[in-house]
Structure 1
Amino acid sequence: MRIILVSGPGSGREAYIKALREFGVAFDVSESLLDLSEMHNQVRCNGFIIDVPTLLRSGAADKAEANLLMDNFPVLRINYNASSGIRGIPSGRFSGTSGDLKTFILESCNSFPARSLRGTKRANKVLNVILNRDLNSPGSQIEKSVTLNFSTEGGFFFSVSNWKKGDYAWIVVKELDDKTPIKSLVQWVVPWGRLNHFPGIGVQFLNISNQQADQIDEFIRGKKELK
């Protein structure tokens, strides 16, 4: 289990670090939400602890980043006072109801699967892809498709074929430099004919390479043009 603490320098951060060490939990420290996005984007963690004064000093873009965290991770907003100690407010659907730091870590974070911050960021952009049910199958098992949205951990792909949850797909993305097929697991299916829905499959990437994930992240953040 790994926790990321977001806190500027001061007595509060020292108290938080002391408590985390006493709990024996692995953790990283980020001085700001901006630093978090730039320096810890690929770190897989089980939750975030955010110092309230640090959050209040943040700009609008950083506060939007905090909202993204609350939507996708266990998050505890905490404050430190020399007389009353550390007090917390759980924030978001994964964070439980206890404001106690130890309870938050042992219950909310310990039960949450580790994921990276960049994996929560999704783009509603079109990539051209090939869906293959079996790498050893004939050409009839191959389907041309496009993404409706994607992240470094998966995406939703247009399809009118007969897929079911639990199927495996091997996906080749035309726009990626590394065109090694990405083994993926179908997590949900939207069948053709459902009102106001695109038909397709939502998949989880199982063996995406670092090069592929880095390039997808660049597409999402607009640092690399789609060609």
Structure 2
Amino acid sequence: MSIRVLLVSEEGPARRGYLLAIGGPDVQVDVVDSPRSVKERIQTSTYQGVVVDMHTLMRDRTYDKRELFRLEERLPVIRVRLDPATGDIAGVSCGEAIRGKASLKEFIVSQCGCAKSSASPLAHGVPLNLAVMICPSRSSPEEACGKSVTLRVALAGCSVFAPAPPEEGALVWLVFPDLNDRTPIPSRVVWRVPWGGKRAAPGMGLAFASLTQAQLRELTDMGLSGPQPPLAPDLQDV
């Protein structure tokens, strides 16, 4: 099985140099041109490491670089720089320096190859538009709930269109009118994109805290797969 990593680098000679250094049959590389795209990508795809071009990182002065430190708690992250004169690559990960194309590839194979993947609740999600009501509490009346539609759905969570999504970590309750079992589903906001925040549809990613047995069966019958949350009522009062 190949190692899948995310490369954060603007278009140009540096990106091409990194791809030549780390590419190959044993490594699959996805590329984004902005650090702002990292969070959304790791919520929807599975990665074992992240390679960040320092020039690309420093150019975005408004990006909260603390997000990289939080990411390092989950995945190997290496910051790299390519010397345009020599083509040499230098990097640092967790205070340890590496130098040279071979050293970068060795880091990918040794560190990322042994890392657990960044699989998220949406890593196994599929595009699926289900009507959904977003409620502030389990007992909220229907008129107090926002009405929206899902963008992707998995057994462990979903992404939902929302112009003004709640803050990350917030608990909301989802009601799916299309399901026979309309028990409110407790869900945590794991990522958010507010309206106007970037060139992307506004919305949020949600991780289900629990599902009823009937809800799990209905979602499975829709062809959904992936990790499963605990069954209710274990976490209904999260």
Secondary structure of 1:35's aligned partner: helix
- Unpaired runs of 5+ residues, structure 1, are 130-143, 158-169, 183-204, 209-227
Aligned pair partner of 1:207 in 228, 233, 236: 228
Corresponding residue number in structure 1 for 2:153: none
> What per-residue deviation string (whole Å, max 9, x for no partner) do you get for residues 147-181 of structure 1?
7x6757968x7xxxxxxxxxxxx6349xxxx9437
**Which one has more relative contact order, counting CA pairs under 8 Å at least 6 apart?**
2
Corresponding residue number in structure 2 for 1:8: 10
Aligned pair partner of 2:86 in 60, 83, 108: 83
User: Which has the larger helix fraction?
Assistant: 1
* TM-score, normalization by structure 1: 0.52
Corresponding residue number in structure 2 for 1:166: none
Report the number of matched residues: 150
Aligned pair partner of 2:211 in 153, 171, 195: 171
* TM-score, normalization by structure 2: 0.49
> What per-residue deviation string (whole Å, max 9, x for no partner) do you get for residues 41-94 of structure 1?
4110000000000010113335243333223211000001132601110038xx
Counterpart CA distance in 2 for 1:42 and 1:85 is: 32
| Contact 2:75–2:116 (8 Å) recurs in 1 | no
Counterpart CA distance in 2 for 1:8 and 1:181 is: 44
Calculate percent identity across the aligned residue pairs. Answer: 23
Counterpart CA distance in 2 for 1:91 and 1:23 is: 27
> What per-residue deviation string (whole Å, max 9, x for no partner) do you get for residues 1-46 of structure 1?
2011000122111110111224741111111112334556411000
Counterpart residue type for residue 124 of structure 1: G
Structure 1 stretches of 4+ moved >6 Å: 144-147, 152-155
Residue pairs, 1:57-136, within 5 angstroms? 57-81=59-83, 82-83=85-86, 85-91=88-94, 97=96, 99=98, 100-116=103-119, 123-127=168-172
> What per-residue deviation string (whole Å, max 9, x for no partner) do you get for residues 82-109 of structure 1?
32601110038xxxx4523123211210
| Contact 1:52–1:78 (8 Å) recurs in 2 | yes
| Contact 2:121–2:207 (8 Å) recurs in 1 | no
